[in-house]
A and B are shown apart, each in its own frame.
Chain A
């Protein structure tokens, strides 16, 4: 046995490879990877043990997982997410165009809107919408519609206004960044071809801005799906509120929170996959090879795992 001075040089195999033969070196050892893996696994085990010890009636979760009320709550959560995002994106595009316009009045109004809605918590906004009846007794749209504020402002409308108008402020900034990211030469080339401002925006600038706009918008959708849980505070029966109700009646509060968390996780996971495909669509023409789809990525990871030499630890 030779003395092991340098760990990177293996003690065995002293004959150097002659000519362009494939190198058969002993790989670098990473002992700390094993150590950190063991620590991480121990901590994980402790957490799992703690939860297994606690008095949680795990059986209640599958019992209620596909309960009619839960499914109804899931659908309402999805509906609220989609509608709020539609309001948010439409409002955001409008505000972004207003902010970029040369008219100082419209751009200041847009600035003020964004300042206000981004600067106050969405929960506070929800309560304000819900209780505006204290200020306006009636809602009066002339001959079209007239009613008490309290019966006009249903939980659904409160939730939609609260979440949608708040989202518009964030979407406005995302859209503005996207529009500004497109090279000015594109607008010039389009104008030089005789295309109008609107056509330039619609056909040339916006499709390119989408590459910058889509990834953060995907994040916003996922965020929105989770933020909808706040609307239980204004008596809207979304997934969270339904789960809470069942939990209180059946005496399994914590279990139902776990159930709700599982549903939220499932929905956000599905959304992340969808986001990937939309990003691929808008990446066309920008990179020579399109990024892998999630499935291709998983496949590639599996292959690299099985092909990986045994030296790599599990950190």
Chain B
């Protein structure tokens, strides 16, 4: 197995506050990688570093064997231009906690926007694909609906379809169910489970321990900007080794 994402001593500070204090981890191709931890532990920040929405201050971060945000020539690092970063981001889908659908576009328009504008796919082709994706997330009848007319769960499923429309090789989920009513969480998790079964590499920041245990291949518990414990979800969740993990799990399980 090859590593889709590799982090070596990743540091990130916002001003004087150090949020990531040296993260080392590897995400293999095709696996579902879950990140758990208390809020403020840096897990969302780490996720945002992977597609360079945040710039890292130290360490190295690789996606599919290539440095994120920089080019290395000899022993010198060159910052990438915005346009180069944009090209890299095409292959990395991201799903946000607050959906971030484009409110002035219908569900279908949301999905075809990036393929048409970024990849130059023809509108007819993009529409056809969008139709298939909407069907896959169970919203075939909502193509012409604006986001404000959809429930949170439906919006999140459209957001997943929007990310998939770019045919990414890696999907990042930033607490995808945290802003949803409890009864709507299941629909979104079903879509994610289906996606995992299709072999997509997924990094999921989540508080859904059930999902992590059932679908996850690896799990990392983060706290205070460092990885405290990692392993197979079943092992970590049922038999945590560290005190900090134990006390966290006892509160959320």
Contacts and interface: CB of A to CB of B under 8 A. Distances in A.
A284 B117 contact: no
B104 A284 contact: yes
B105 A285 contact: yes
Contacts of B121: none
Contact of B114 (A195, A197, A286, A287): A195
Contacts of A203: 113, 117
B103 A285 contact: yes
A190 B83 CA distance: 13
B156 interface: no
A194 B114 CA distance: 7
A210 to B, nearest CB: 9
Given A192-B51, A207-B104, A185 B94 contact: no
B98 interface: yes
B105 A191 contact: no
A162 B129 CA distance: 53
Interface residues of A, number: 23
In this complex, the member of A192, A284, A285 whose beta carbon has the largest number of chain B beta carbons within 10 angstroms is A192
A141 interface: no
A199 B118 contact: yes
Contacts of B147: 285
B146 interface: yes
A247 B103 CA distance: 54
B149 A194 contact: no
B102 A189 contact: yes
Contact of A193 (B98, B106, B148, B166): B166
Interface residues of B, number: 33
A286 B148 contact: yes
B162 interface: yes
B83 A196 contact: yes
A183 B102 CA distance: 10
Contact of B98 (A185, A195, A197): A185
Given A195-B114, A285-B148, A186 B100 contact: yes
B3 to A, nearest CB: 22
A285 B86 contact: no
Contacts of A197: 82
A196 B83 CA distance: 6
A185 B96 contact: yes
Contacts of B87: 194
Nearest to A187: B100
B163 interface: yes
B104 A191 contact: no
A195 B86 contact: yes
A314 to B, nearest CB: 40
A188 B89 contact: no
Contacts of A193: 89-90, 113-114, 118, 162-163, 166
B114 to A, nearest CB: 4
Closest 9 CB pairs of A and B: A194-B90, A189-B100, A193-B114, A285-B146, A192-B94, A185-B100, A194-B89, A285-B104, A194-B118
Interface of A: 183, 185-186, 188-197, 199, 203-204, 207-208, 284-288
8 contacts: A189-B100, A190-B102, A192-B163, A193-B162, A194-B86, A196-B86, A204-B102, A285-B147
Given A285-B148, A287-B148, 18 more contacts: A189-B94, A189-B101, A189-B159, A192-B53, A192-B94, A193-B89, A193-B114, A193-B162, A194-B88, A194-B89, A194-B166, A195-B117, A196-B82, A197-B82, A208-B102, A208-B103, A208-B104, A288-B148
